[in-house]
Amino acid sequence: MEKDGAAQDNPNSQQKKLIPPYMKAISGSFGGIVEATCLQPIDVIKTRLQLDRSGNYKGILHCGTTISQTEGVRALWKGLTPFATHLTLKYALRMGSNAVLQSAFKDPETGKVSSHGRFLSGFGAGVLEALVIVTPFEVVKIKLQQQRGLSPDLLKYKGPVHCAQTIIREEGLRGLWAGASPTVMRNGTNQAAMFSAKNAYDVLLWKKHEQDGKVLQPWQSMISGFLAGTAGPICTGPFDVVKTRLMAQSREGGELKYKGMIHAIRTIYAEEGLVALWKGLLPRLMRIPPGQAIMWAVADQIIGLYERRYLQITPL
């Protein structure tokens, strides 16, 4: 009788055991480190293409080749330190805050999160990461990436710390949050779509539900993550281009060319055409979906290990 009672109690006790948000944060941070190291060159090329108003680069391959020939191969990893730090902190905050927000939307009886609850949790996590981490780190990264030349002595910014200090000195602390509005719109929309799509693909392709004890193979996580990461770049292309332009401009020549997000969209459209608002889309699609594939492959393994070892959840 006691064994039967324990067996009946066990499912309920397992349902009450939840993966703590800090474990989601840790899994995301490790995924971010791996992603940044693998995909930094694509991000450099994307930034250069978005800042190219005179048509110096003929495409992705030409841009990468030109950078390597004129500035050296190491130039493709320009801004790696702020980019890796940025991704590590961003994914930690994204995964952790999304877990906290999802817990607020969970049905108290079933413990499940509705589709709109998952969407809003993702949007909230995206907005939070944009304001706290993404904007200042991307301002520094873009300033470093837009510099051209082989000699460090001729570069205005000597490194990420010096770059941040120079921005604060010349533009004030608010200079580190240039382009915050389009960044909030981009990241909020991206994460709302990504978390919703990742869960949907896991269920559809692999019959994997949250905290069911089933650990996906890395290749399965990569497929789900890759597919989940494709919609965001297409929908948020204009926000990303505007964000890059706002972050890259400075007051050295006098007045700023772009006064804000709406003004930048109108100006780019008037001067360069509608297609210019999706500049850099192909390298974004080359970086973000593979990046999500790498991140989720790492994160899912860490979460699965935690479920098995500490929560003792076994596959249903």
Q: What Cα–Cα distance (Å) separates residue 91 from each residue in 118, 152, 186, 283, 301?
A: 17, 31, 15, 21, 15
Alpha carbon distance 221, 297 (integer Å) = 5
User: Within a domain: residue 228?
Assistant: yes
User: Within a domain: residue 108?
Assistant: no
pTM higher than the cut 0.75: yes
What pLDDT does 56 receive? 86
What pLDDT does 10 receive? 44
User: Within a domain: residue 227?
Assistant: yes
Task: Using pLDDT thresholds of 50, 70 and 90, give the confidence band for residue 130.
Answer: very high
Q: Which domain holds residue 251?
A: 217-300
User: Within a domain: residue 41?
Assistant: no
What is the average pLDDT across 160-178?
Answer: 92
User: Within a domain: residue 91?
Assistant: no
User: Within a domain: residue 222?
Assistant: yes
What pLDDT does 313 receive? 63
What pLDDT does 314 receive? 61
User: Within a domain: residue 120?
Assistant: no
Task: Using pLDDT thresholds of 50, 70 and 90, give the confidence band for residue 224.
Answer: very high
User: Within a domain: residue 1?
Assistant: no
Domain count along the chain: 1
What is the average pLDDT across 21-33?
Answer: 94
pLDDT tens digits, 44-88: 898 888 888 888 898 889 999 999 999 999 899 888 887 788 789
